[in-house]
Amino acid sequence: MKVLASDKLSKDGAAVFAKAGIQLDLQTGLSEDELVKIIPEYDALIVRSETKVTPKIIKAGRKLKIIGRAGVGVDNIDLPSATEQGIIVVNSPEGNTIAAAEHTLAMMLSMARKIPQAYHTLVKNHQWNRSAFQGVELYGKTLGVVGLGKIGSHVAKCSLALGMRVLAYDPFVTKEYAESHGIEIQKLDEVLREADFITLHIPKTNETKGLLNKEKFALMKKGVRIVNCARGGIIVEADLAEALESGQVAGAAIDVFEDEKEATASPLLTKELPTLVAVPHLGASTAEAQINVAVDVAQQIVTVLQGGSASAPVNIPTMRPALLEPVKPYLNLAEKLGRFIGQVVKDTFSAVEINYKGEVAAVDPSPLSTIILKGILESINPEGHVNFVNAPLIAKEKNITVKSTRSEKVHDYANEIEIIVNTKKVQASICGTLFASVGERIINVDGFTLSAIPQGILLIFAHQDKPGIIGKVGNILGESKVNIAGMQVGREKIGGKAIMLINIDNEIDDTTLDKISKIDGLLDKARIVKF
């Protein structure tokens, strides 16, 4: 077996492969085309943050069983493509916890006391100017922690020791648990309004991208200070630059940028912002962390290649590759169905029922159930940290009952995956199938039969079956320059209730969505689903 490391790897990580008798090739700085050319001969790929593992690379990796990220974030790896190919992606969620938490505290203190600016003035410009660098104390201030995972929790613990009041937003942490550690749990906007300092410890996802923007900065106290040692792109950099210029934000300590290869082109670095502290992604840059993450991921890769289970998979449930093979064709469909039902039903879930029918029922569907659950929980908790390891535990903590059934009997399709969810107010359902020739299809929503493609952006609404509604919707989308890629309508009877699913090619704004929702004959508000 052969493993390719396309980014730097510590000697300790390399030693794990040597001990297991697995060949490790270290080739750094490769372009996408160069990687595509050589990746077919490798069973595993290990990267850090520099290599972008694109769909093209993943598709070319015909022998790939696992991709390891020696670090926490995996936003440089195309997870949907890896999942579709049945390739396990793993990371090291705890290897750099202490390093990242300590770095956050260092950045916060440096910003508060203006240490980098004072250093530059004294050492570089040889000016003794104490009065220009009056800072603020952390003692007695309120810290808002967005994301109370292992890193966020350690930052909170240390900040409490410094005499700070700590507020936190994390939908997966109970009020009782937080209070037992001296932390106050609040809603996101409440944390942003009350905090003197705000630190981010959340992953970058479609939902968290641009989480802190002009609107959110306006909610904050004038003179708030912000730290981001999590992921670039969570903050809209142009909006933060504007807030720093106006004084709405008194200081920012930034370790990560949305495009790190072009970080110097960021509005934060092209403008003169004297209250900004910025460094080039040093959160995990300690000798200890580099060793920890490399060894952890290397050990997981070795285990999987030897037929075992990974301890920290981020895209596929922890299962042996041999057991994943039978459900591999359904992985993508299962996650999309979960994401659909989670985004459509905006309420607190109490129960999830998953019914497998036909060919898919003939194999062990347990990994599909976990994938579905992850899709649902990600959608109802957009700022949360959901993965395939913690999804069942999170469902249990939220008192969501999950059950599944299997039946090899089908009526119209060779295979079906049906999800039924219950909330305190409603019951909703979706059913999908996989065709060998045309791929995935949604074949039923809330009892309405149709055939919709689960990809891109989907507009969905219930309406009365009467003439003119389709035309009105089309006109509104056309006026808003939104192109229609496909449309499906299902109805119970002529003149009765109907449901419409429209695939659109570009984003739709709230104003357009409101216009559609006000069309005479619509039975509920139009909603958007993103796959």
Catalytic residue numbers, as ranges: 231, 260, 281
H/E element, 486: strand 484-491
- What is the C-alpha to C-alpha distance for residues 400 and 208, in angstroms, rounded to an integer? 24
Q: Which two tokens stand for residue 526?
A: 């139009």
Q: Which two tokens stand for residue 399?
A: 């008192």
DSSP strand pairing (249-254 vs 276-278): parallel
Q: Indicate the SS3 state at residue 493.
A: coil
- What is the C-alpha to C-alpha distance for residues 45 and 92, in angstroms, rounded to an integer? 15
Per-residue H/E/C for 234-277: CECHHHHHHHHHHCCEEEEEECCCCCHHHHHHCHHHHCCCCCEE
Contact yes or no for 403/424 (Cβ under 8 A)? no
Nearest to 104 by CA among 156, 182, 181: 156
Contact yes or no for 386/394 (Cβ under 8 A)? yes
- What is the C-alpha to C-alpha distance for residues 109 and 79, in angstroms, rounded to an integer? 36
Query: What residues pair up with 89 in beta bridges, in sequence order?
Result: 67
Contact yes or no for 211/233 (Cβ under 8 A)? no
Q: Which two tokens stand for residue 69?
A: 């990220």
Neighbours of 163 (CB within 10 A): 11
Nearest to 337 by CA among 207, 430, 440, 434: 430
**Size (the chain), residues:** 531
Query: What residues pair up with 228 in beta bridges, in sequence order?
Result: 200, 254
Query: What residues pair up with 449 in beta bridges, in sequence order?
Result: 444
H/E element, 487: strand 484-491
- What is the C-alpha to C-alpha distance for residues 481 and 500, in angstroms, rounded to an integer? 20
- What is the C-alpha to C-alpha distance for residues 456 and 464, in angstroms, rounded to an integer? 26
CA angle 457, 480, 347 (to 5 degrees): 45
- What is the C-alpha to C-alpha distance for residues 354 and 419, in angstroms, rounded to an integer? 5
Q: How far is CA 281 from the centre of its chain?
A: 19
Q: Which two tokens stand for residue 393?
A: 């535990």
